[in-house]
Amino acid sequence: MKTSISYTTSPLLASKTPVWRSKFIVAALVLGFFALAVRAVDIQVVNNDFFKRQGELRFVRTLDLPANRGQILDRNGLILASSVIAPSIWATPEDVEISDANLAKLAKLLDMPIAEVSKKLNDDDKSFVWLKRQVDINRAKQIEALGIKGVYLRNEYKRQYPEGDAVSSLMGFANVEGKGLGGIELAFNEALSGKTGSRKVIKDRLGRVVENVGEQFLPVTGKDLQLSIDSKIQFFAFQKLRDAVQEHKAKSGSVVVLDVVTGEVLALANYPVSASTKIANLNGAQLRNRALTDTFEPGSTMKTFTAALALERGLVKPETVIQTAPGRITIGGATITDAHPHDALTVSQIIQKSSNVGVVKMAMQMQSSEMWTMFDQVGFGKKPQLTFPGMATGRVRPYKSWRPVEQATMSYGYGLSCSLVQLAHAYTVFARDGDLIPMSIVKRDTVAVGQSVISPKTASSISSMLQLASGDGGTAPKAQTMGYSVGGKTGTAHVLEGKAYANKKYRGSYVGMAPIEKPRVVVAVMIDEPSNGKYFGGDVAAPVFSETVQQSLRILGVQPDLSVKPQMVAKAVEESF
């Protein structure tokens, strides 16, 4: 029996090697290959996903595919807000190599002091630093042309509002990340934003994408939003309001134009506003849309609702005579007075002359619950059905807590509050034969259906009274406009400061409609704290109404319903024999 293997024929080299050794080596090799096979199965089959993922982590890059934010358009498809490329400039301080001349040029292009740019570029503690975000594309190209090592560009998108200040309080704004933070931008942020997509790619050493890996998730572009706003009407409303606020040295002003036929908001302007490019420096007061977010005591503009209720209940007729002399009345120990005392007035004249005493005498014949119901039905004390952030509901206290004097003061617009939009909306009742139509700030494709609040007869009577109020002998002859019959009501209220009324601070307002026989628009104007002598609504707000109505009806193509002396001069062709 062999116990060893002979590896040579030379007896000198012969060694006795045990057989088990070679067997051991063979076994070790088999085991080694077996281990390799097991490992191969482990890598290729059992844990394949893990190793694949690890591999991808080392060479695959995931790129975000940003979604474009949708445009905001006016009712005629004109751009009110759109996103454009605005590159941001960033740097890696440790890589920066820059000469003094280039530093000066860079600082100039960035519109920043040299010292500030230098400080940012020398901040070696940071591996990434923004020099300036969202710069003008032409400037970015010039910066790129400087070829400064360590300074790079990154494409971002900036929201632009070509209409500028005229729409800024309505549009709100979107931040550098493209997120809506105010106004329409915030209200419709989800629809406008779209959805960011992504894809996995392999990049080469030059940073170029050379291959797609796996599935691509394409970005979903934000939806365009078409508002009911007419940019021309909006501009004219804003322009007239701005002129009035400046002329009367007022604190602020707002104007709302509603389409009586569709319930759409055609214009909603505020002044003052600040340029949307400097949003970061603005405070809440400058950013908010006062016509929607601020409430005020409407004053005499509420008298029409009291008179409408009295007519609707059959308590009075337009020609019913009510004694308002001596111009004061005492209710529950408090005396209510007229600014200008009158004698006996008909109900129509009470609205025309805006007599507090006359309205209070009508109101005291009614139940407080009836008045509350009327106010509630026309939308006071309720949030308007518009999509807009921070809308005010106003305040109309439950009728059970009304004292007689409060019922009296509410009848002429004190002791309750509303926003200008609510007031304008409520007046559509008189313009639509007693119907209240839902409002919309988005362009409507369907016809909205109104809800009856008062009878067409009452609405017609109030319209006639409103026409009287804006005629000669009324409180707002300045509301008249060339070619169109108008009707409306002034309001002049003391500003409430704390728990008392400020003595010499007023808020002048005017709400009206035109053309009076077949109204097409309701326009509400509010001028806050005019301080240049005039403060009555008929003096400060009615002229804005007049000019806004004139332009709005012209733009809407409404033919004048009043005779106008033509001033057209046609050049005649010389006659020939």
Distance, CA of 350 to CA of 319 (rounded, Å): 10
Q: Would you call 183 helix, strand, or coil by DSSP? A: helix
Interface with another protein, residue 84, by CB under 8 A? yes
> What span, in angstroms and rounded, lies between the C-alpha atoms of 140 and 147?
11
571 binds another protein (CB under 8 A): no
Is the Cβ–Cβ distance between 130 and 90 less than 8 Å? yes
Q: Is 235 in the site for another protein (CB under 8 A)?
A: yes
For residue 285 the two structure tokens come to 């007061």
Residue whose CB is less far from another protein, 80 or 410: 80
231-247 and 542-556 are packed helices; what angle lies between their axes, rounded to 10 degrees?
160
Q: What stretch of H or E contains 488? A: strand 487-497
Residue 300 annotated in active site: yes
- Burial of 314-341, coded b for 16+ CB within 10 Å and e otherwise, reads ebbebeeebebeebebebeeeebebeee
Told to check if 567 binds another protein by CB under 8 A, we report yes
Cβ–Cβ < 8 Å for 233, 167: no
Q: Is 236 in the site for another protein (CB under 8 A)?
A: yes
- Of 210, 280, 500, 573, which one interacts with another protein (CB under 8 A)? 210
- Shortest distance (Å) from residue 78 CB to another protein: 6
User: Which CB sits closer to another protein, 78 or 447?
Assistant: 78
Among 32, 162, 332, 341, binds another protein (CB under 8 A): 162
Catalytic residue among 83, 300, 440, 463: 300
> Does 573 contact another protein by CB under 8 A?
no
In the block, which residue shows the tokens 């009742």? Answer: 429
Rank residues 11 and 566 by Cβ distance to another protein and give the closer one: 566
239 forms part of the interface with another protein (CB under 8 A): yes
Strands (E) located in 161-292: 173-174, 180-182, 197-203, 209-217, 225-226, 252-259, 265-271
Query: Minimum distance from CB of 238 to another protein (Å)?
Result: 9
Beta bridge mates, 113: none
Q: Is 209 in the site for another protein (CB under 8 A)?
A: yes
User: Which position among 563, 572, 574, 575 is part of the footprint of another protein (CB under 8 A)?
Assistant: 563
Residue carrying structure tokens 């394409």: 218
Query: In the set 565, 571, 574, 576, which binds another protein (CB under 8 A)?
Result: 565
Residue (of 128, 130, 137, 142) closest to 155 by Cα position: 137
Q: Between 227 and 336, name the residue whose CB sits nearer to another protein.
A: 227
> Does the protein bind another protein through residue 254 (CB under 8 A)?
no
Out of 64, 97, 111, 204, the only residue in the binding site for another protein (CB under 8 A) is 204
Assign 3-state DSSP to the chain and report helix, strand, coil percentages, each to 5.
40, 25, 40
Give catalytic residues, as residue numbers.
300
Which residues contact another protein (rule: CB under 8 A)?
78-79, 82-85, 137, 157, 160, 162-164, 166, 204, 208-212, 231-232, 235-236, 239, 482-484, 550-551, 554, 559-568
